[in-house]
Amino acid sequence: METKHIIMLLAAVIIVVLPFIIYPGLGEKQGFFTGADSNAGSAIEQTGYHPWFKPIWEPPSGEIESLLFALQAAIGAFILGYFLGYYKNKKKDNQET
């Protein structure tokens, strides 16, 4: 492995680990690592808003919901990667001729 790869790998590890070193054990207790979904949900509940309609289908558990979200992300990444590769190779083929 080249030196630059090792440096980038170490930088990525530091970026991931550093928040846990700076704020040990605080996590969700004080809201450091909460996401926008939980904050937005509590803000909406404070306004007294009531939804106009209910979802057609709700996943039976949070794990199924996470699975569907990950599947959607994977399909999107596949489509994006396919078209990026397609157009890159198309441009490369046009330059060779």
* Structural domain total, the chain: 2
Contacting residues for 34 by C-beta, under 8 A, at least 6 apart: 28
Q: Do residues 58 and 45 share a domain?
A: no
61 and 45 together in one domain: no
pLDDT at position 4 over 90: yes
Residues 42 and 69 occupy one common structural domain: no
Q: CB of 40 within 8 A of CB of 46? A: no
The rounded Cα 63 to chain-centroid distance in angstroms is 16
Give the tens place of pLDDT for each residue, 7-52.
999 999 999 999 888 877 666 666 656 667 777 877 888 888 888 8
CA–CA separation, 32 and 26 (whole Å)? 7
User: pLDDT, tens digit, for every residue of 51-97?
Assistant: 888 889 888 998 999 999 999 999 999 999 999 999 989 888 788 76
Q: How far apart are CA 58 and CA 55, in angstroms?
A: 7
The overall pTM is greater than 0.85: no
Statement to judge: residues 63 and 41 lie in one domain: no
Q: Which domain, by its residues, includes 73?
A: 54-97
Instruction: Please indicate, yes or no, whether residues 77 and 64 belong to a single structural domain of this protein.
Output: yes
